[in-house]
A = this chain, B = another copy of it.
Amino acid sequence: MKDLRGKLSRSIRNKEMVLLVCNCRVDYSGRAVSALGWGDRLVLIKPDHTVLVHKPDGRNPVNWMAEGSNIEVEESDGSLIIICDSVNPREHMVVTVRKVYSLESNKLKDGEVLVSAGSEADMARMIYENPSLIGESFKPVRLEEQTKHGFIDVLGAEGSVLTVVECKRYKAGLGAVQQLRRYVERLQKSKGVMKVNGVVAAPSITKNAMNMLGDWGYRFVVVEPPMYLDLDKSEQRRLEDY
């Protein structure tokens, strides 16, 4: 274990990406507490001092420390002990390694950034630019207004009545209707007007949410999120082209 400890410490200090496949146990305390008994896992230490412990299944790490953690490697009783600490939030994770299957590290270079589309913001933009998606008389006024007390996706008017549009890129649930209700009520209060229209714009809506929508006199409009990448900032290619 001694040389392993040295190699590990050196790789971390050297800002390499470390892959440690091992049998280990993990103890965590901080925002919660947890214990994980002995088993085979991947311990991934990134150059930014993010530490991830992955079980052989699932998308998420079973334990982790956010970037910037302090990492110490010790050796005791033939075990490798990886101690991670962070302040704000104060967190502590200890990985005790009793068997190493493989340890390797690489210096990685990656300057690229993910380009993606299909978010709720993209949807809001699409509605702003194509107001008829909401209704014949809908005239958009403001896009993605983040105010002190909420975030209105699209604000517009139908005739002389203000209309709040809440977008959801997936099936709208109770939460979406509640959000809409909050924004509508705030507008009514702040503007001192009785009537404000509320619209949920989403590809679909759950039954309960639809009922709640009706109870409050709001309406639902089917809108699909736009799925194309703006790769060249000029030429947009539809998803299906790929």
Contacts and interface: CB of A to CB of B under 8 A. Distances in A.
What number of copies of this chain does the assembly contain?
A: 2
A87 interface: no
Interface residues on A, range: 35 or more
A33 interface: yes
Interface string A97-131: 00001101010111111111111000000000000
Contacts of A239: 29, 33
Given A33-B118, A112-B39, A149-B208, A44 B48 contact: no
Interface of A: 17, 19, 21, 27-29, 31-42, 44, 46-48, 50, 52, 54-59, 61-64, 66-67, 101-102, 104, 106, 108-119, 148-150, 169-170, 174-175, 178, 182, 208, 225, 227-229, 231, 239, 242
Leading 9 A-B pairs by shortest Cβ distance: A32-B118, A39-B110, A34-B116, A40-B108, A37-B112, A48-B57, A56-B108, A39-B112, A33-B239
